[in-house]
Amino acid sequence: MPTPAKKAKARPNPPKDHIVLPDGRTLGFGDYGAPDGLPIFAFHGTPGSRFMLRAGDATARRAGVRLIAPERPGYGLSSYQRNRTLRGWADDVAALADALGVKTFAVAGISGGGPYAAACAALLPERVLAAALISPVGPMAGPERPEKIGRGHYSTFRLLPRVPHFYRGAFNFGRLAFLYAPLPIYALIMSRASSQDWKILSRREVRLSLLGGVAEGVRPGVRGALEEMRIFSRPWDLPLGDIKASCFLWQGMADRNVPPAAALRLGELIPGCRVTRVEGAGHYWVFDHLAEVLETLKAAAQKSPLPEARPGAIVETATTKKPKAAKRMKRSS
């Protein structure tokens, strides 16, 4: 359990895009959807910012939920925090919830936000009603990691702790591209996308959401993203087996951004997690199916019947097993 978080500083008319945490750091956030709806703390990808969830404003209003999108340390308006942890994020979310007057809530993590949603579900059991893990980054180190992931992901997570200066240079190059040459970098992203992702990425609203979200996230620099990759390259040290909240995981099986094997492994580690394998879908399928995710979270939080799974999806309920010692990682293309 995380140490009890002190309440964030309150003001008569607090800013609508950030709070000041007890240790003096700033925590930025976006607030979308229905103001009086079920609060869902939605965590952006890596890199990203509060703006990434802005595209879901209308969908959230129709679903009757409130999307609160905090920025992790080093992104957007949020102060950088050296050596931060997944556990520390749960404290930050609790402080933000207190500042906004929110007692209980659901959480959702997209891509790199997935581990943080899992952390909140594990460490804030009295407050988290349900959790959604959407194309999440799964365990990449320690006994929880899968035995087999793609060659590119294998190299990234194995080498990053050893040659951080190389990745700092690559991240800085990407930052400059998103800030000053967004269309060429977006064209490069599309050229590497699966056919399903390409169709989604070609839409104007998706392009604006991703380019704006990433640009705002890396505007202060790349330290937040590098810190995040460091976290992903190490064991998580989370009591995933103790999670009591209803958990749901969606994973596109044609995802080229995160290894599906690691995402599915995450689902196996959470008791009773409902895992939906979306055959043929890539990393960005949620842009077409956000309503399904929000309606599922709302139903679970209110203990109502869950909506039916989308046609063609393979739905499984995880039976948690104790993690075995990982064998030497095999490479695959």
Which residue would you say has higher pLDDT here, 94 or 319? 94
Query: Quick one: pLDDT at residue 14?
Result: 53
Sheet holding 314-317, edge to edge: 18-20, 26-33, 65-70, 38-43, 105-110, 128-134, 246-252, 274-278, 314-317
By C-alpha distance, which of 150, 145, 128 is closest to 263?
145
**pLDDT tens digit string along 221-230?**
999 999 999 9
Total length of the chain: 333
Q: Token pair for residue 30?
A: 């976006």
Average pLDDT over residues 278-300: 95
Provide the pLDDT for residue 9.
47
Please check the confidence at residue 5 and state whether its pLDDT lies above 60: no
pLDDT tier for residue 11 given thresholds of 50, 70 and 90: very low
**Residues 6 or more apart whose Cβ sits within 8 Å of residue 84:** 72, 73, 227, 231
**Position with higher pLDDT, 57 vs 155:** 57
Cα 305 from Cα 322, distance rounded (Å): 30
- The predicted pLDDT at position 142 comes to 76
Instruction: Give the model's pLDDT for residue 318.
Output: 62
Asked whether the beta carbons of 33 and 65 are under 8 A apart, the reply is yes
pLDDT digit string (tens) for 122-168?
999 999 999 999 999 999 887 777 766 666 665 666 666 666 677 88
Q: How confident is the model at residue 310 (pLDDT cuts 50, 70, 90)?
A: low
237-268 pLDDT, tens digit per residue, is 999 999 999 999 999 999 999 999 999 999 99
Which one of 3.40.50.300, 3.30.70.260, 3.40.50.1820, 3.40.718.10 gives the CATH number of domain 18-332? 3.40.50.1820
Q: Among 60, 41, 53, 52, which Cα is nearest to 102's?
A: 41
What is the overall mean pLDDT for the chain? Answer: 88
Q: What is the mean pLDDT of residues 81-86?
A: 96
pLDDT in tens, 229-239: 999 989 999 99
Position with higher pLDDT, 163 vs 275: 275
Going by C-alpha positions, the residue among 176, 134, 143, 140 that lies closest to residue 297 is: 134
Residue spans per domain, the chain: 18-332
